[in-house]
């Protein structure tokens, strides 16, 4: 048994090996608690405020445990950071002979089979796609891992990656002629042999459901599972414990079938014809909803003229494609795989149109270019708890935002942890930052109700003097894309009228990574963004000194999944608002507010424009869950605080 205080001590191995390392009491306590959970095969749910150093707090006991450990993160960015930086650093400091591996979903690895086939076919939308595929081909010849993150010559969102990677659906598995060179299989073998394996939540749940992404062999062999960014688990679990049939999946199946047909059954004209019919049926289904994007319950979707007929037409087209494929499948592994895919897709579509599972929420999501027919479980608690009770091992859930105050009831109920025997241990470690000195929480007076017509305009008007006082260096976080676009427009106009030349960035103008890089380099920018920037975004230092949030982040009441869960809770005699909507909003708000202060030296203002935080009784639950900043309702005090901050460094 080791003592965390010794390892984290000022003269300990971490301090000796890592420049600038400084342990905090919260970090030592958390590491000790995790070590105890690992030894006793217990479940621990832990909230650790920003600056606690939770990554080292779980890596140290993980590496010292002597067993096999899976660390699951919320994002591929954090996954790469853990594997490339944090794990090697801690391992070297502790001098432990621990092997580590990184395992991602198959879409992150170059697929030799699909790369060669699509390079040979030469069908590309643009010259840039063709150039990107050539660059990927060069990368495939020199890489040891095949991980697309290492191919810096090609943008992560390039369309060429679709042609150079496989999916669970179109992978040929052991039947692939190039299985011996497969990067996915290589990554799995390495992960099987490693002591510590870094995955992400999507891969973890994909395996739990599909036993297809390498975790099927890993999980039974592991002693400990650690979830970082664990607040994302309920949402991710809902996604993977459900089913989806999307028009993009159907189009991909049609394209792959046509490609395999041209390679292995060129004489079967009927096969090519049927793929065209399937493509038209998928596009026609999407066109039922015109230009709109939305999330709809089944009943709402069925009110749309032509919806039922378009779903039936797509089902018929898939049936006809299966009939022809059945006559050609023996001619190649690729065609046999397409037959399996169309059969599975028809089964999922059949379950969606004629459900026999009452605890599924059926709904439709309409995107700008595609449409998805979704079936989401009403709750994931039972199926998730079965994973935990399967065999003895330690489970650690860690995040900066899990509790409402010190209460983990909402989180534990969502994942089924509340009914475990013995119940999970829970712990909260607050941030070591001096929020009273470093930050100010500003709740503007005179704000209209959030549903009033002039609310968005008032938010922009409220933000402008603060932005000018901060000399840029601002995140404006909105709860809807419509509000985001309007606030951006008004801030640009307001700054121009005031003669200010600050750069104003908008989510969607580039990838999240590109926008953050620009924001950091400019040093005096304003970024107006929506939900995807509320968490997982780290801008320490002077580049960010002001965070403006328009509304408390309640999910829209007409969201089909929320509406179904609200109805279910009402039937159980529970208050959906108290037991679900408010806790979710608090956790999301804590994430958004957490963007502001990232280090001991950061200073800034958090401005929350929603008057409900002050005027409604439940608003106290929100602001009491936020870090203990000084509070004000006076604009001049917020402006004065910002004006005392050091000037931004000149933009690059």
**Where in the chain are the domains?**
4-99+194-239+380-429, 107-181, 243-377, 435-643
100-114 average pLDDT score:
92
Residue with tokens 């390495």: 190
43-48 and 69-73: which strand pairing?
unpaired
Task: Read off the tokens for 306.
Answer: 């032509």
- pLDDT tens for each residue of 145-195: 999 989 988 988 788 998 899 988 888 888 888 999 999 999 989 998 999
| DSSP structural state of residue 50 | T
Lowest mean pLDDT among 21-25, 230-234, 302-306: 21-25
556-579 average pLDDT score:
89
HSE, side-chain direction, 13 A CA sphere, residue 401? 23
Helix axes 201-210, 233-240, angle to 10 degrees: 30
Q: Do 4-99+194-239+380-429 and 435-643 show the same overall fold?
A: yes
Residues with Cβ < 8 Å from 496, sequence gap 6 or more? none
Task: State how far the Cα of 552 lies from the Cα of 358, in Å rounded to an integer.
Answer: 32
- Is residue 295 helix, strand or coil? strand
CB 353: neighbour CB atoms within 10 A? 15
CA dist 615 to 190, 374, 447, 638, Å? 56, 38, 11, 20
CB 239: neighbour CB atoms within 10 A? 18
Task: Read off the tokens for 379.
Answer: 């709750």
**Positive/negative CA dihedral, 642, 644, 647, 648:** negative
Residue with tokens 């095969």: 41
Angle at the Cα of 35 (from 30 to 39), degrees rounded to 5? 150
| DSSP structural state of residue 478 | -
Question: Has residue 563 got a pLDDT over 70?
Answer: yes
Task: Read off the tokens for 479.
Answer: 């709860």
- Preceding amide of 464 cis, omega within 30: no
572-577 average pLDDT score:
90
Question: Has residue 480 got a pLDDT over 50?
Answer: yes
| pLDDT at residue 651, as a whole number | 45
Task: State how far the Cα of 397 lies from the Cα of 395, in Å rounded to an integer.
Answer: 7
CATH number of 4-99+194-239+380-429: 3.40.50.300
Task: Read off the tokens for 471.
Answer: 């000399």
Q: Bridge-partner residues for 362, per DSSP?
A: 375
Is there a contact between 447 and 611 (Cβ–Cβ < 8 Å)? yes
| pLDDT at residue 214, as a whole number | 57
Task: State how far the Cα of 606 lies from the Cα of 167, in Å rounded to an integer.
Answer: 42
Question: CATH number for the 435-643 domain, one of 3.40.50.300, 3.60.20.10, 3.30.200.20, 3.30.70.100?
Answer: 3.40.50.300
Task: State how far the Cα of 515 lies from the Cα of 543, in Å rounded to an integer.
Answer: 13
| pLDDT at residue 652, as a whole number | 44
pLDDT, greater one: 468 or 205: 468
**Annotation: CATH topology of 243-377:** Fumarase C; Chain B, domain 1 (1.10.275)
427 Rama sector, left if φ>0, alpha if ψ -120 to 50, beta otherwise: beta
CB 70: neighbour CB atoms within 10 A? 24
Is there a contact between 507 and 614 (Cβ–Cβ < 8 Å)? no
- pLDDT tens for each residue of 532-552: 788 878 888 888 999 999 999
- Mean per-residue pLDDT of the chain: 91
Task: State how far the Cα of 571 lies from the Cα of 409, in Å rounded to an integer.
Answer: 20
| pLDDT at residue 357, as a whole number | 77
Task: Read off the tokens for 523.
Answer: 């040093």
Lowest mean pLDDT among 319-323, 473-477, 623-627: 623-627
Helix axes 127-142, 112-121, angle to 10 degrees: 140
Task: Read off the tokens for 129.
Answer: 């796609």
Confidence category of residue 340, pLDDT binned at 50, 70, 90 = very high
| pLDDT at residue 23, as a whole number | 83
Task: Read off the tokens for 148.
Answer: 């697309």
- pLDDT tens for each residue of 20-65: 888 889 999 999 999 999 999 999 999 999 889 999 999 999 999 9
Task: State how far the Cα of 13 lies from the Cα of 60, in Å rounded to an integer.
Answer: 11
Confidence category of residue 273, pLDDT binned at 50, 70, 90 = very high
| pLDDT at residue 216, as a whole number | 65
Can you spell out the DSSP letters for 176-227?
-TTGGG-HHHHHHHHHHH-SEEEEEHHHHHHHHHHS-SSHHHHHHH-SEEEE
329-357 average pLDDT score:
92
| pLDDT at residue 541, as a whole number | 82
């Amino acid at each position: 048994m080791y003592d965390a205080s010794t390892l984290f001590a000022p003269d300990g191995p971490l301090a000796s090996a890592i420049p600038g390392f400084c342990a905090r009491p919260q970090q030592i306590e958390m590491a000790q608690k995790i070590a105890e959970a690992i030894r006793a095969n217990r479940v621990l749910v832990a909230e650790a405020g920003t600056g606690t150093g939770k990554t080292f707090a779980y890596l140290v006991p993980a590496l010292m445990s002597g067993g096999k450990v899976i660390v699951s993160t919320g994002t591929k960015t954090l996954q790469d950071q853990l594997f490339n930086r944090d794990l090697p650093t801690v391992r070297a400091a502790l001098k432990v002979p621990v092997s580590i591996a990184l395992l991602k979903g198959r879409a992150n690895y170059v697929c030799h089979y699909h790369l060669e086939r699509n390079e040979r076919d030469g069908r590309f939308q643009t010259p840039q796609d063709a150039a990107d595929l050539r660059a990927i081909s060069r990368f495939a010849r020199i890489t040891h891992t095949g991980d697309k993150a290492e191919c810096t010559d090609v943008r992560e969102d390039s369309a060429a990656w679709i042609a150079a990677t496989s999916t669970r659906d179109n992978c040929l598995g052991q039947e692939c002629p190039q299985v011996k060179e497969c990067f996915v299989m290589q990554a799995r073998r390495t992960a099987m042999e490693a002591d510590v394996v870094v995955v992400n939540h999507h891969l973890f749940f994909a395996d739990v459901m599909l036993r297809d992404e390498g975790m099927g062999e890993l999980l039974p062999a592991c002693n400990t599972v650690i979830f970082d960014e664990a607040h994302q688990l309920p949402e991710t679990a809902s996604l993977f414990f459900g089913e989806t049939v999307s028009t993009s999946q159907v189009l991909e199946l049609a394209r792959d079938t046509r490609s395999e047909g041209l390679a292995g059954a060129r004489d079967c004209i009927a096969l090519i014809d049927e793929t065209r019919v399937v493509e038209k049926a998928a596009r026609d289904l999407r066109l039922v909803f015109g230009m709109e994007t939305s999330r709809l319950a089944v009943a709402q979707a069925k009110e749309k003229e032509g919806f039922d007929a378009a779903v039936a037409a797509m089902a018929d087209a898939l049936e006809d494609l299966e009939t022809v494929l059945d006559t050609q499948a023996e001619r190649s592994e690729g065609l046999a795989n397409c037959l399996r895919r169309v059969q599975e897709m028809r089964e999922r579509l059949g379950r969606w149109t004629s459900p026999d599972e009452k605890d599924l929420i059926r709904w439709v999501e309409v995107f700008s270019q595609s449409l998805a027919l979704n079936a989401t479980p009403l709750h994931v608690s039972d199926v998730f708890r079965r994973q935990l009770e399967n065999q003895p091992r330690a489970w650690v859930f860690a995040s900066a935002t899990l509790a409402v105050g010190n209460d983990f009831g909402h989180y534990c109920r969502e994942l089924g942890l509340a009914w475990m025997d013995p119940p999970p241990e829970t712990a909260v470690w607050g941030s070591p930052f001096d929020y009273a000195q470093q930050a100010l929480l500003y709740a503007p007076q005179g704000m209209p109700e959030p549903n009033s017509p002039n609310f968005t305009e008032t938010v922009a008007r409220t933000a402008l003097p603060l932005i000018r006082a901060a000399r840029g260096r601002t995140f404006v976080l909105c709860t809807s894309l419509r509000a985001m676009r309007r606030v951006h427009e008004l801030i640009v106009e307001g700054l121009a009228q005031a003669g200010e030349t600050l750069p104003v960035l908008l989510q969607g103008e580039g990838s999240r990574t590109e926008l953050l890089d620009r924001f950091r380099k400019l040093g005096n920018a304003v970024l107006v963004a929506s939900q995807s920037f509320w968490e997982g975004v780290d801008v320490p230092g002077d580049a960010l000194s002001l965070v403006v949030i328009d509304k408390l982040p309640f999910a829209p009441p007409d969201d089909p999944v929320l509406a179904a869960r609200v109805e279910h809770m009402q039937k159980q005699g529970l208050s959906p608002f108290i037991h679900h909507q408010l806790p979710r909003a608090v956790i999301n708000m804590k994430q958004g507010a957490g963007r502001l202060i990232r280090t001991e030296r950061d200073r800034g203002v958090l401005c929350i424009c929603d008057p409900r935080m002050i005027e409604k009784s439940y608003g106290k639950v929100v602001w009491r869950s936020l870090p203990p900043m000084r509070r004000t309702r006076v604009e001049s005090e917020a402006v004065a605080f910002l004006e005392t901050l050091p000037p931004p460094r000149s933009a690059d």
